[in-house]
Amino acid sequence: MAGRDADDPGSAPTKLWGGRFQQATDPVVERFSASVSFDRALARYDIRGSIAHARMLAATGLITPADRKAIVAGLEQIGADIEAGRFAFQDRLEDIHMNVESALRDRIGEAAGRLHTGRSRNDQVATDLTLYLLDACRSAEAGLRQLRGVVLERAREHVDTVLPGYTHLQRAQPVRLAHHWLAYFEMWTRDAERFRDLRGRLDRAPLGSGALAGSTLPLDREQTARELGFVGPSRNSMDSVGSRDGALEFLSAAAICMIHLSRISEELVIWSSSEFGFVELADAYSTGSSLMPQKKNPDVPELVRGKTGRVVGNLMTLLTVVKGLPLTYNRDLQEDKEPVFDSARTLGDCLDVTAGALATLRVGRERMAAAASDPMLLATDLAEALVREDVPFREAHEVVGKLVAHCVEGGLDLGALSKEELRRFHPAFPAGAPELLDVERALEERDLPGGTARARVEEALGEAAARLANEEEDAE
């Protein structure tokens, strides 16, 4: 470093990397490369992996039963101290792994030096991160079950609440609010499936892969894999330590889920405005203005919408980190953890507050019904009435388009046009608009699978409840 004598003992840092290096790491480099401020989130997984490794070493005769007993007891004590907040993390020891190993040496002495037998920090880190990701997936699935339970319950309450469905944020056709909210149930179900599917691809233990090529020692990788809950050891040591697609897939699933949360948040923001008045958020999920006492701001959904950017950004960060790395491990991969930890925490928080906001909001049924009563929302039904009279749809579409233009230009009510007025535009109209255009009938005639007819919505509610119950049973 410029301005510092590399041999100056007064600035000598604390760490020497074994016998190969004659010079200690520069303090600036230590600060630059330290990760314990964030990778301490891996502590419980590091303890678990190390205990499994110690037991395997003893079972294969690589360490004595006495050493195993001392190591396991020491690690359990360290784990308890970390969970209780009593552990003093030291930045000079760089990461969680060295912090644990140093603390173990202080507690049990020489036996601690045998723990790293047959292990590299490369496969140690990969194992810890994989265990973390498995738990993060389970946590996301649990949050999504809670959220879907809430939206399912609210949908049950609003089978008969009608509002406009929108395209391009323009009123399009009337739908049941239950049908609208069940659309999010389906999105969040696919989100849960992505996390569950990922767990199936995280089922191989990296431990025992060493730095990249395995070990000459008689390690029992099957034993450590079983103890840690994996189906078996990973199939390729180089892939194990050099790949991060598990983290990438988690970040991708989290980003997609956040996009879905952001979409409903956007609707809550719009719907809670005075212009819409479709919903009112509970006070517990709103804030006031520091200046305007009348304001009730939808801060919770706005924050969810805003935090979506950081989760999407985390995915982009790790994609960029990994894209140019040759096999196998490179120090760039230290940058995998902060995006993962941040996304897991952010997603969990957003799932919780969205569930709370949906559970407590008040629905403005009257405002929704008034908006859905606009006869223009049934223009397609008018065209389909002609189709039933054997008029080609494109011709019917053009006819009704002209009718709409006629009403807009003349300030007329489309729903009030008589049979004679309609037949001026096409002789096949079988009745007047009052007979042809009815919101309830429009809903009930959409009786195809996945449609908004009452029977289909109630069927969908039952199927959704059964799927959710099965997931909850499987999670127990």
Q: What is the pLDDT of residues 84-118, one digit of tens each?
A: 999 999 988 889 999 999 999 999 999 999 999 99
Instruction: Quote the CA–CA distance of 305 and 266 in Å, as a whole number.
Output: 7
Q: What is the pLDDT of residues 109-155, one digit of tens each?
A: 999 999 999 999 999 999 999 999 999 999 999 999 999 999 999 99
What percentage of the chain reaches a pLDDT higher than 90?
A: 89
Going by C-beta distance under 8 Å and a sequence separation of 6 or more, which residues neighbour residue 108? 70, 71, 73, 74
23 pLDDT exceeds 60?
Answer: yes
Instruction: Quote the CA–CA distance of 152 and 282 in Å, as a whole number.
Output: 19
In this predicted structure, what is the pLDDT of residue 17? 53
In this predicted structure, what is the pLDDT of residue 18? 62
Show the domains of the chain with their CATH numbers: 26-114 (1.10.275.10), 121-370 (1.20.200.10), 374-445 (1.10.40.30)
Q: Which residues are catalytic?
A: 168, 289
In this predicted structure, what is the pLDDT of residue 214? 97
Q: What is the pLDDT of residues 266-281, one digit of tens each?
A: 999 999 999 999 999 9
443 pLDDT exceeds 70?
Answer: yes
Q: What is the pLDDT of residues 25-74, one digit of tens each?
A: 777 877 787 888 899 999 999 999 999 999 999 999 999 999 999 999 99
Going by C-beta distance under 8 Å and a sequence separation of 6 or more, which residues neighbour residue 111? 63, 66, 67, 70, 71
Mean of pLDDT over the chain: 94
Instruction: Quote the CA–CA distance of 136 and 251 in Å, as a whole number.
Output: 11
In this predicted structure, what is the pLDDT of residue 325? 97
